[in-house]
């Protein structure tokens, strides 16, 4: 399987993320637009259960050419866990590109590319951690 296929399968399987409820966010996978690029949509629901806003963007995933299918699947599983927590935190200002900060490129430089290591790296404040609620 190619990185493209693994990414598509992982993102289709988790879409939509988040709950359709009052004052909630949902994330939808729209399509792969090019090798390493995905189109995602965030939907904000207002206090009445109506759509308040929709943001859709193409974002570069930073998956390197040397990534194996297992690496890619581990990355998306970790990304899903962290992004679910971001959506639960319900940030009022969030763009799709915020879910793929430039710092994500460095997570691929990890010596071990396991889901646990990817998740720890993605939760860093310099990456997705800035959107998470403080515990």
**Residue 112 DSSP SS3:** coil
The tokens describing 36, both together, are 């390493």
Query: Which among 115, 124, 131 has a CA at the least distance from the CA of 76?
Result: 115
**How far is it, in rounded angstroms, from Cα 127 to Cα 20?**
26
Phi–psi pair at 31, nearest 5 degrees = -170, 165
Higher pLDDT, 120 or 26: 120
pLDDT (tens digit per residue) in 88-130: 887 777 888 888 876 677 888 887 889 999 999 999 998 899 8
- What is the pLDDT at residue 23? 62
pLDDT at 19 over 70: no
- What is the pLDDT at residue 4? 63
- What is the pLDDT at residue 87? 84
pLDDT (tens digit per residue) in 61-93: 888 888 888 998 999 899 989 998 888 887 777
- What is the pLDDT at residue 37? 82
- What is the pLDDT at residue 126? 87
Phi-psi region of 18 (alpha: psi -120 to 50; beta: other; left: phi over 0): left
Query: What is the 3-state secondary structure of 22-78?
Result: CCCEEEEEEEEEECCEEEEEEEEECCCCCEEEEEEEEEECCCCCCCCHHHHHHHHHH
Query: Which among 134, 56, 50, 48 has a CA at the least distance from the CA of 91?
Result: 134
Reported as a pLDDT band with limits 50, 70 and 90, residue 3 is: low
Q: Where in the chain are the domains?
A: 3-131
């Amino acid at each position: 399987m190619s990185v493209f296929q693994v990414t598509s399968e992982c993102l289709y399987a988790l879409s939509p993320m988040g709950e359709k409820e009052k004052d909630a966010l949902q994330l939808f996978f729209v399509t792969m637009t090019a090798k390493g690029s995905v189109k995602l949509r965030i939907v904000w629901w207002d206090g009445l259960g109506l759509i308040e806003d929709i943001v859709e963007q193409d974002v570069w995933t930073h998956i390197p050419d040397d990534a194996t299918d297992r690496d890619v699947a581990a990355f998306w599983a970790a990304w899903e866990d962290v992004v679910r927590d971001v959506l639960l935190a319900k940030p009022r200002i969030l763009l799709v590109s915020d879910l793929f900060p430039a710092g994500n490129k460095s997570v691929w430089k990890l010596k071990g590319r396991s889901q646990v290591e990817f998740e720890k790296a993605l939760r860093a404040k310099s990456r997705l951690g800035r959107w998470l609620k403080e515990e």
